[in-house]
Amino acid sequence: MRKLMREVSIGLLFLFVLATAVFADGSIYSTRAFGVSWYFPSGQAVGMGGVAMSSVDSQHLNWANPAALPASQTVQVSCVFLYQHLKINSKTQVFKTGYANFNGVMFSVPVHKRMGVAFGIQPLTNINLKIKRRDAIKNNIYTKSVKSSGGLNSFFLMIGYRPLKSLLVGIGTNFIMGKMEENWRVDFIDSHFRDNFDQFRTKAWGMNYT
């Protein structure tokens, strides 16, 4: 009984640490100001709140496991659409963020009984932020707003091969590219003050392999 309780406790601790890491969004992309991680390993995972497994499944395409491609012997197409909206009001500012877009397209083609190829595009990160605040300096009212948009996308190619009946291997490559834009604006009601506008743009690209 004690052994069972210890195993359950370890399992719950592992799930807690995993959930904390996921919701904290401590990815390398977010720490470099490339946006919030927006990656889902499959269309099925989007409908399940991001929960997914990279197991072999001939009925669902999985972007996280190229070794599973030989399990599917038919041409498959996976398209994902995602919508999210959030608005928070306070006494001094309004916070808005939203996202609506196709969240990935993947094509899988069996080129041989033991080999499958897949390619497609999917977003890795997303930036869609609007902050607006009204304040005053010595009774001079002004409105300050910040708007950020953009993110990173991944163009990927994967190959899976079955050298043995009980052995699957795979390799994948991703070409990552994207653009981030941030606009800062200050508007004064009094015409004696000059309004201000600043714009920052960042482009990024790179490759990785799995």
pLDDT tens-digit series, residues 39-51: 666 666 766 666 6
For residue range 21-69, list pLDDT tens digits in order: 444 445 666 666 677 776 666 666 766 666 666 667 767 777 778 888 8
Full-model pTM: 0.66
Specify the pLDDT at position 1: 59
Domain boundaries defined on the chain: 1-31, 35-209
- DSSP-assigned states of every residue in the chain: -HHHHHHHHHHHHHHHHHHHHHHHT--HHHHTTS-EE---SSHHHHHTTT-------TTS--TT-GGGGGG--S-EEEEEEEEEEEEEE-SSEEEEEEEEEEEEEEEEEEEETTEEEEEEEEE-EEEEEEEEEEEEETTEEEEEEEEEEEEEEEEEEEEEEEEETTEEEEEEEEEEEEEEEEEEEEEESSTTSPPEEEEEEEEEEEEEE-
- Greater model confidence, 154 or 73: 154
The predicted-structure confidence for 138-184, as pLDDT tens digits, reads as follows: 888 899 999 988 888 889 999 999 988 888 899 989 899 999 899 99
